[in-house]
Structure 1
Amino acid sequence: MKTVLLMGFEPFDQEPVNPSWEAARQLDGFKIDQDVMVVARELPCAFATAGERMLQLIDELRPAMVIATGLAPGRSEISMERVAININDARIPDNLGEQPVDTPVVDGGPAAYFSTLPIKAMVKAVREAGIAASVSQTAGTFVCNQVFYRLQHALVGSAVRSGFIHVPGESLMPLSRLVDGLRVAVSVAWNTSVDAVEVGGQVS
């Protein structure tokens, strides 16, 4: 059985829940097809531990694909992230009280990495399912971007495709619709080898 590792974050910024994890965990055990299954795991919202936990999970599970998800407060669409940048610039402290400003994610690493997921095909399919979605050109500079960058850095040159999805808060998208949208996005990510070209990008 091949594994698609789907990760979400614990709550942060004094919020009681994080919809990225609430949605991801509902897909734990979902079979994309007969020999591919989603395994969902939670990440800490902390610069010092999130990346290390992610790398441990990759080493433990040896996934065939990795998708991280995180909350983007204020966004109303499921956002397929295009690019991770090599900078930490936290507007608020993380869950361990750390607030790095203008520090690299990886010393000496490239300025950015692109997602290796078929992000436009994913957006197209989620929209066709009646759920709001877009391509996003910025994953921010908080822990989500750090995890996205470290994920791409760890898997560069490998056969394992990977990327990041930002999700709306529950006030802007009910959890049931978010789960449905993620299910579609993950399935299309696995089953699509060449990305679509007809969906334009959108900064969100």
Structure 2
Amino acid sequence: MDGMESRSKTVVVTGFGPFGEHEVNSSWVAVQELEKLGLGDDINLKVFEVPVEYQAVQMLIPELLETHKPQVIVHVGVSGMASTVTIEKCGHNAGYIRMDNCNFCPGMYCCVEEGPEYLHSIIDIDAVCKGASSACPEVQFTVSTDAGRYLCDFIYYTSLHQSRGKSMFIHVPPLGKPYTAAQLGQALQAILTVILDLLEYSEDH
């Protein structure tokens, strides 16, 4: 039974599929690298590739939360402007005017009608950035408050809303600009390790 109990913590991590100029989306590559590394024997890591589609996100997030009941759900996306691994502090509800891979955008240009303007993670993002920087010094980590009003921001807000804040979003640069797939996987592992330590500490105190 002890072995069963030690496997009880589940973490869900998503990356996005191809879109626009990102024929290979480094976010999904990084998540696959994380899957190879794992998060230790006592964490059940589940990874999913998400299409760059608003409606797919709206259907998938509640399904993932209901099916897996994760301790935390972490989303990863690519930013062509990023040169660091960027941890996002909040998701925004409105401003989604950019068409997705299906040439669709939300009718009210928002995630949740009459929802709050933005939602924050319950996780201490600054502490995560500091801890990950110490654990993985070859990668530069930064914090941001603007996830970009496209699918990255959309999935983050949707996830924060559905999970009551037990969610986080990470932007990674395109592959080779400057980090390898392996380095991005190590960066995600460092971030997840810090998140799990913080959540465990908060549960114990």
TM-score range, shorter chain: 0.7 to 0.9
The residue that corresponds to 1:133 in the other structure is 141
102 and 79 in structure 1: CA distance in 2 versus 1, 3 angstrom threshold: farther
Q: 1 or 2, which has the higher strand percentage? A: 1
Residue number among 72, 76, 79 corresponding to 1:72 in the alignment: 79
175 and 33 in structure 1: CA distance in 2 versus 1, 3 angstrom threshold: closer
Structure 2 unaligned blocks of 5 or more: 1-6
Q: Distance in 1 between matches of 2:64 and 2:10?
A: 11
117 and 34 in structure 1: CA distance in 2 versus 1, 3 angstrom threshold: same
Q: Distance in 2 between matches of 1:37 and 1:109?
A: 32
Q: Distance in 2 between matches of 1:183 and 1:142?
A: 25
Identity of aligned residues (%): 26
- 1:32-43, aligned counterparts within 5 Å? 32-43=39-50
The residue that corresponds to 1:12 in the other structure is 19
The residue that corresponds to 2:170 in the other structure is 165
The residue that corresponds to 1:115 in the other structure is 121
Does the Cα contact within 8 Å between 1:25 and 1:41 map onto a contact in 2?
A: no
Kindly indicate whether residue 84 of structure 2 is the aligned counterpart of residue 81 of structure 1. no
Residue type of the alignment partner of 2:145: Q
Does the Cα contact within 8 Å between 1:88 and 1:105 map onto a contact in 2?
A: no
Does the Cα contact within 8 Å between 2:16 and 2:52 map onto a contact in 1?
A: yes
Does the Cα contact within 8 Å between 1:88 and 1:101 map onto a contact in 2?
A: no
The residue that corresponds to 2:3 in the other structure is none
Q: Could you tell me how far 1:37 is from its partner in structure 2?
A: 2.5
Does the Cα contact within 8 Å between 2:97 and 2:109 map onto a contact in 1?
A: no
Kindly indicate whether residue 177 of structure 2 is the aligned counterpart of residue 174 of structure 1. no
139 and 102 in structure 1: CA distance in 2 versus 1, 3 angstrom threshold: farther
Q: Distance in 2 between matches of 1:120 and 1:99?
A: 32
Aligned residues: 191
Kindly indicate whether residue 46 of structure 2 is the aligned counterpart of residue 55 of structure 1. no
Q: Could you tell me how far 1:30 is from its partner in structure 2?
A: 4.9
Q: Could you tell me how far 1:21 is from its partner in structure 2?
A: 0.8
SS of equivalent to 1:20: helix
The residue that corresponds to 1:202 in the other structure is none
SS of equivalent to 1:40: strand
The residue that corresponds to 1:199 in the other structure is none
Structure 1 unaligned blocks of 5 or more: 196-204
Q: Could you tell me how far 1:57 is from its partner in structure 2?
A: 1.6
Q: CA RMSD in A?
A: 2.1
SS of equivalent to 1:3: strand
